[in-house]
Chains A and B, each alone.
Chain A
Amino acid sequence: MIKKTLQAVAVTSSLFAVATIAPLSVSAAYAAELNEKSALKLVEGLGQEAVQLLASKDLSTAEKQRNFTALIDRDFDMKVIGRFVLGKNWRTATDSEKSEYLELFKKYIINTYQKRIGEYSGENLDIVKAKPLNDKEFLVNSVIVRPKGPKIQLDWRVRKSKSGELKIIDIIVENVSMALTHRDEFSSVISQNGGKVEGLLQKLRDHTATSTN
């Protein structure tokens, strides 16, 4: 008798547990899937717009540059990337150095990648899939298909910012992280200049000045 009651209690309580937990986990899974889809859409949209923009023949170089900057601003979290790239040196930098750095870094990135993407036009960007990395980051896998030569694997690290927007925080080419490469490079420049952020700023100033001409 007692055994039966206990069993019944156990069954009902476990049913209850399932009943309350199941919808929770379903909705969590659903939310994750939704985010994955929007991460995918973000990259897809950006890819199309960027290639279209840079391949367009109607726009002047200055207009292209302006529109490309707008795209980057819209889809990339430049502040997060910039700070990651500066690494430890962020802490030693003064406020004015920080703000100048962020500005120069954005210019530097735009110059660099505008050229890079401009050269890729004519090749296809195939978005493959998105998968969650943790509760607020996703990795979107894509492939650049070239008429000649092997495919290039291109992954986008997308992160949900505090305001809930999805923003790209890293591009990974054949498992090589661009953010990490820039970070290694920048910290080397700083250490070559006696650990002063100013040395890096000077290099960036020169570089962005010469490459816009």
Chain B
Amino acid sequence: MISLKFKSKLMNGCFAVALAGFLGACATPPGQDSAQVMNTEVNDPLEPMNRYFHDVNQAVDALALRPVSHIYRDAVPDGVRDSVSNFLTNLSQPIYFINNIAQGDLDGAGDNMGAFFTNTLLGFGGLFDIAQLDTDREDLGQTFAVWGIGEGPYLVLPVLGPNTTREAVGIVGEHFIDPANLVARNHDIDHFEIMRGTARAIDFRSKSLDSLDEIEKNSIDFYAAIRSLYRQNRKNMILDGSEENTPLPDISFEQDDDKPRLDQVSQLFEDDNSTEKKASKVKN
């Protein structure tokens, strides 16, 4: 029964994820008594509102984005979809470049520039990925993070989906500084950002149809699953996916430490006060 209810709620998180892109993480320990304690611990003080927009977004997804993405994926040939994807990435290379410069990642910025010129000139305006440089998405929110600005509370925006306050500010900022937007404005291209956003959403959603459906189906709290996935993925993006830097969750698995006394199951379960202290010592 409950899983059915959740199924119907299904897609709003996906949609959010779809538009914003899959983003980052925070291993806050979960709360134990009330929802409020929980909210502060996972830095989601706006949870009731967020859950509301999560539901709204899922409805939008179920009614519009998901069916359109299905048709897009099934009816449009692979090659064309690849080109759409390439074109959208190429359009974003200038803002990735700016962000990489701002983050001090000159190699990344060089790749952005190389990819942009190669693909624009030789790849027919970016339809083909000739450069094959495999550039990462870099947005203003990530730049803020590199500058040391905290992520702020979790925030689900209508239509735009999962975000944190920091990323939301980044989205507004990019509206003003993204060179693609500036060019479009100068040439009086109407609704450029909406069209681009829609295209990106469909591009993303068509690639994640199966995986998001699957996560939704298998989760017992889809909202919380998306929140966790978003944060972890976001953290990963900020660290540019370098696994060396990515901190693993503190599975110093508090219960299971080296002492032989834990051989007995009953003790294993009772002794967590002392073991947790130990775990936190290790952490520090």
Contact with A along B14-43 (1 / 0, CB 8 A): 000000000001010111111101110010
Residues from 71 to 112 in A contacting B, C-beta threshold 8 Å: 79-80, 83-84, 87-92, 95, 98, 108, 111-112
The answer, yes or no, to whether A49 is at the interface (CB within 8 Å) is no
B-chain residues with CB within 8 Å of residue A203 when the two chains form the complex: 2, 220-221
Establish whether residues B2 and A170, one from each chain, have CB atoms under 8 Å apart when the complex forms.
no
Report the bound CA distance from A4 to B45 in whole Å.
73
Most buried by A among B1, B39, B233, B243: B243
The answer, yes or no, to whether A63 is at the interface (CB within 8 Å) is no
- Closest B residue to A204 by beta carbon equals B220
Report the bound CA distance from A133 to B268 in whole Å.
23
Q: A87-B30, A175-B232, A180-B232 are in contact. Are A211 and B249 (CB under 8 A)?
A: no
| 5 CB < 8 A contacts A-B | A175-B246, A183-B228, A185-B225, A191-B31, A203-B2
Contact partner of B224 (CB less than 8 A), chosen from A162, A170, A184, is A184
Contact partner of A184 (CB less than 8 A), chosen from B4, B228, B251, B260, is B228
Interface SS majority for chain A: helix
Most buried by B among A88, A95, A153: A88
Using CB atoms and an 8 Å cutoff, list the residues of chain A in contact with chain B: 79-80, 83-84, 87-92, 95, 98, 108, 111-112, 115-116, 119, 133, 136, 139, 141, 148-149, 153, 155, 157, 159, 161-162, 169-170, 172, 174-177, 179-181, 183-192, 194-195, 200, 202-204, 206-207, 210-211
Report the bound CA distance from A6 to B194 in whole Å.
82
Report the bound CA distance from A186 to B219 in whole Å.
9
Number of A-B contacts (CB under 8 A): 164
B-chain residues with CB within 8 Å of residue A207 when the two chains form the complex: 2-3, 220
A-chain residues with CB within 8 Å of residue B224 when the two chains form the complex: 184-185, 187-189
Establish whether residues A90 and B225, one from each chain, have CB atoms under 8 Å apart when the complex forms.
no
Q: A162-B260, A189-B224 are in contact. Are A184 and B42 (CB under 8 A)?
A: yes
Tier of interface size on chain B: 35 or more
Q: A80-B256, A188-B42 are in contact. Are A170 and B249 (CB under 8 A)?
A: yes
Q: Which 9 A-B pairs have the closest CB atoms?
A: A187-B30, A188-B224, A191-B38, A184-B228, A175-B236, A195-B33, A180-B249, A112-B218, A176-B232
Q: A162-B262, A207-B2 are in contact. Are A181 and B229 (CB under 8 A)?
A: yes
Report the bound CA distance from A84 to B284 in whole Å.
19
The answer, yes or no, to whether B176 is at the interface (CB within 8 Å) is no
Establish whether residues A210 and B249, one from each chain, have CB atoms under 8 Å apart when the complex forms.
no
Residues from 58 to 82 in B contacting A, C-beta threshold 8 Å: 78
- Closest B residue to A197 by beta carbon equals B32
Chain A nearest CB from B92 CB (Å) reads 17
Known: A162-B256, A194-B35. 9 other contacts (CB 8 A): A95-B269, A139-B248, A169-B253, A179-B249, A180-B27, A180-B232, A181-B228, A187-B32, A210-B4
Interface SS majority for chain B: helix
Contact partner of A185 (CB less than 8 A), chosen from B34, B220, B251, B253, is B220
Using CB atoms and an 8 Å cutoff, list the residues of chain B in contact with chain A: 1-4, 25, 27, 29-35, 37-39, 42, 78, 207, 210, 214, 217-221, 223-225, 227-229, 232-233, 235-236, 239, 241, 243, 246, 248-249, 251, 253-256, 258, 260, 262-263, 265, 268-269, 272-273
Q: A83-B255, A169-B251, A184-B227 are in contact. Are A175 and B218 (CB under 8 A)?
A: no
Establish whether residues A183 and B253, one from each chain, have CB atoms under 8 Å apart when the complex forms.
no
Q: A89-B32, A176-B233 are in contact. Are A185 and B221 (CB under 8 A)?
A: yes
Chain A nearest CB from B48 CB (Å) reads 11
A-chain residues with CB within 8 Å of residue B3 when the two chains form the complex: 206-207, 210-211
Establish whether residues B255 and A181, one from each chain, have CB atoms under 8 Å apart when the complex forms.
no
Most buried by B among A112, A185, A202: A185
B-chain residues with CB within 8 Å of residue A195 when the two chains form the complex: 31-34, 37
Establish whether residues A177 and B30, one from each chain, have CB atoms under 8 Å apart when the complex forms.
no
Chain B nearest CB from A1 CB (Å) reads 52
Establish whether residues A172 and B220, one from each chain, have CB atoms under 8 Å apart when the complex forms.
no
